[in-house]
Structure 1
Amino acid sequence: MSSSNLQALTVLLERAEAERDEALRHLRDAQARADAAKHQQEQLSQYRQDYRQRWSQEFAQRTTVQILGCYQNFGGRLDQAIGQQSGIADFADQRLNAARDVLREREMRVASVRKLIERRRAETLRTQMRQEQRSTDEQAARAAARSSNPLTRLVA
């Protein structure tokens, strides 16, 4: 393999590695966003549970229709916020899965280019070894021909 071919494959490998590294950064960002969205959803759900428990204790003592209306209104808004956050968390998970798929593809590309370079180097090495073997065989054949030729013995 010529050095220009090897150089072209090396450039291709560098580009594939850069794309893989970018995909890895994107995956990490997606993971952070997904974790943050889940954490916020969990916090909202925990707050909703605490809110219900607190108001259940309060209602056991005394309540008015106005307070009950406020409780139900705020609880409804909390449920809505939890539902929205759940949608955000699901979307973040989808993006995380997509980022994983992209990273997997980019890693496979890097591995493929590395394998190609390895094969080309091995092919070049085999070609060089064959050429060296041919050269050695030719030299041995010439030497044998010289030693078997009676005229070459006299000259030497």
Structure 2
Amino acid sequence: MTAAIHPSLRPLMVLLDQAERERDQALAGQNRAEAALLAARRQQQQLADYRQECESRWTEQFRQGVAMTLLQCYHDFVARLHGAVDQQAQQIERLSQERERAGALTLAAELRLAAVRKLLERRSQALLRSAHAREQKQMDEMAARAGWQRRPEPAVDGETTLQGVL
């Protein structure tokens, strides 16, 4: 069961919920960007491995001799393969920048959330101090009243009072 929330803290609690949602969304965006970058790097590695495999296989073919048309096809294929590798490198660069932006958004959301939490904590502490001060004042007032009630009534005639002093 949760403790009752002071009415003055409710707007901050709403702000806290919103800041947490924004942080969660930013974190999810950062995770998606990271996953996309990782997939692009895997694809780049696959392309590089495939290019290496093709070059090795065709180098062996060329040692045995090939027709000129086949050589031209090979060069066209290799050019397209190199283009795909270059395009993948550009894609990785773009995805790296997106990941950096997503990381900056996540950091900003985390900082905002921390600021809201700190503000909520300070306001809660101020309310506790205020409540404690009120309680202490009430206790002091009750003690003062009790002290006044315990004091003996002052004497009505002046002789009795003087005799008590002498």
Q: Same fold (TM over 0.5)?
A: yes
User: What is the correspondence of 1:74-113 to structure 2 with a 5 Å cutoff?
Assistant: 74-113=77-116
State how far apart, in whole Å, the 2-side matches of 1:3 and 1:139 are. 26
- Counterpart AA for 2:89: S
State how far apart, in whole Å, the 2-side matches of 1:142 and 1:5 are. 33
Give 2:51's match in structure 1, choosing from 48, 53, 58.
Answer: 48
- Counterpart AA for 1:63: V
Corresponding position of 1:154: none
Does residue 5 of the first structure (1) align with residue 8 of the second (2)?
yes
Corresponding position of 1:63: 66
TM-score of the pair, normalised by structure 2: 0.85
Q: How many residues align?
A: 150
CA drift at 1:17: 0.7
Does residue 114 of the first structure (1) align with residue 123 of the second (2)?
no
- In terms of fraction of residues, the more helix-rich structure is 1
CA drift at 1:35: 1.1
User: What is the correspondence of 1:140-155 to structure 2 with a 5 Å cutoff?
Assistant: 140-150=143-153
CA drift at 1:148: 2.6
CA drift at 1:147: 2.1
- Counterpart AA for 1:79: H
Q: Deviations over 1:22-79 (max 9, x none)?
A: 1111112111211111111111111111111011111111122222211111111111
- Counterpart AA for 1:130: A
- Counterpart AA for 1:68: L
CA drift at 1:8: 0.5
Does residue 137 of the first structure (1) align with residue 133 of the second (2)?
no
What is the RMSD computed on CA atoms of the aligned residues? 1.4
Greater CA drift, 26-35 or 118-127: 26-35
Structure 1 unaligned regions, length at least 5: 152-156
Greater CA drift, 63-72 or 100-109: 63-72
* Percent identity (aligned): 39
Does residue 30 of the first structure (1) align with residue 33 of the second (2)?
yes
TM-score of the pair, normalised by structure 1: 0.90
